[in-house]
Structure 1
Amino acid sequence: MLSVFKKYLTEKATLSEEEWEIIASVCIVKKIRKQQFLLEQGEVWRYNAFVCEGCLRRYSIDDKGIEHIIQFSTENWWAGDRQSLMHETPSKYNVDAIENSVVILIRKADFEIICKKIPAFYELSNAILQRSFNASQERINAVISLTAEEKYLNFLTSFPGLANRVPRHMVASYLGITPETLSRIKKQVMGK
């Protein structure tokens, strides 16, 4: 699985073989079975996690036991809880596998060392953070301003193929609508 991570990095940054070896030396390959947790609410998240294979979700559970999915992470995405990682505070989220998955974990301290030693990795990390921030803003805007149908169509456009990999009730949770509403919208969309 390191080859998947190497391919991702070398497509986005120019790294020497020596720099790649430094990165590879701190990578931990972790297999996660379907429904297995990578992070449980209340734990302090201590890694940067890159998804090589599979699909994960980050979510919270409210007082009524309802899941609120914040993010899906598929191949070539990053997963985890950045707030918990940066502030070393207990996570408000769970991260688990929707499919059997493989991730690369890099401990926070090791990630920081790599960023200092390898400028291209540091620049890539900043670019990823910027894209993540922009995506979060877009998601917030969509949640507060789009109709349920627009949210669903935006999801299909933004994440092609993901609706076929993720159970319907999870898509509904991500969109902030009920599964029944999602079913009705899907019928309307298919009818157009």
Structure 2
Amino acid sequence: MATEFLLENIKKHVTLTPADEEKLAETCQVKRIKKKQFFLQEGEVQRQLVFVIDGCLRSYSVDENGFEHILQFAPPGWWISDMRSMLEQTPASLNIDAVDESEIIVISKSDLDRLYKEIASFDRFFRILSERSIATHQHRLIDSLSLTAKERYTNFCRQYPSLITCLPQKYVASYIGITPEFLSKMLKEPIKK
């Protein structure tokens, strides 16, 4: 069932043969992660790519003052990783943990590299995913430099509509780059017409 969700996600972008689907399914490992459990901690090397089936994961860094800076949320149907650590097999600069109890599929780096060679459509799928990720991160950077906190909050709601009601406000605040106190005050302000 879990691999079927993954295959549906991939087939939205590329065509896979039954043989391709079988090869992919053979490499997938389904895991459960408890709420607040780490998948990856800063300093470890990421050796598996993660696809979220159920629940939600987040990636973040912690600055020298102990403040978390959330880079990404991964609800069902999203991929998450510390890409530099995964690609270069170097220590991670990000933490990845579960916001909620989650079910994930992991694919090891060695299996991923093999699938890229053996399944042209799989290689194309990840190129499409990478291009979209780069575009999203560019826009997020521009937004963080040029938009108000309220505009960044509106964009967050648009990007993660299923999460806005279930995430702690401190996570939302961290993602948009403000303090939880400022977010609370901002949300209490009357809407201007």
Note if 1:119 corresponds to 2:120: yes
Is 1:64 the equivalent of 2:61? no
In the TM superposition, what are the counterparts of 1:147-186 in structure 2 within 5 Å? 147-186=148-187
Identical residues among aligned pairs (%): 40
Match runs of 1:100-139 below 5 Å: 100-139=101-140
Structure 2 gaps, min length 5: none
Q: How many residues align structurally?
A: 192
Larger mean Cα displacement after TM superposition, 10-19 or 139-148: 10-19
**Long gaps (5+) in structure 1:** none
Q: What's the offset of the Cα at 1:65?
A: 1.0
Structure 1's 189 and 153: CA in aligned 2 closer, same or farther, altered over 3 A? Answer: farther
Greater shift, 2-11 or 35-44, is seen at 2-11
SS where residue 9 of structure 1 aligns?
helix
Question: Does structure 1 residue 25 correspond to structure 2 residue 26?
Answer: yes
Report what 1:36 is aligned to: 37
**RMSD between aligned residues:** 1.3
DSSP-derived class of the 2:165 partner: helix
Q: CA deviation at 1:30?
A: 1.1
| Cα shift readout 1:4-37 (whole Å, capped 9, x = no counterpart) | 1122122222111111000011111111011100
TM-score, normalised by the number of residues in structure 1: 0.96
User: Following TM superposition, by how much is the alpha carbon of 1:182 offset from its aligned partner in structure 2, in angstroms?
Assistant: 0.6
Give the ranges of 4+ consecutive aligned residues of structure 1 lying more than 3 Å apart after TM superposition: 189-192
Per the normalisation by structure 2, the TM-score is: 0.95
1:64 counterpart SS class: coil
Residue equivalent to 1:9: 10
Offset of 1:161 from its aligned partner? Answer: 2.6
Name the amino acid aligned to 2:91: P
1:4 and 1:189, CA in 2 relative to 1: closer, same or farther beyond 3 A? Answer: farther
Sort the Cα spacing of 1:38 and 1:190 in 2 relative to 1 into closer, same or farther, 3 A. Answer: farther
Give the number of the structure whose residues are more often helix, by fraction.
1
1:92 aligns with 2:96: no
Deviation at 1:48, TM superposition (A): 1.3
- Deviations, residues 74-97 of structure 1 (Å, cap 9, x unaligned): 111101110101111100111000
Distance 1:91 1:189, change over 3 A: farther
Q: Aligned AA for 1:129?
A: S
Counterpart-to-counterpart distance in 1, 2:36 and 2:42: 15
In the alignment, the residues of structure 1 paired with residue 3 and residue 189 of structure 2 have an alpha-carbon distance, to the nearest angstrom, of: 43
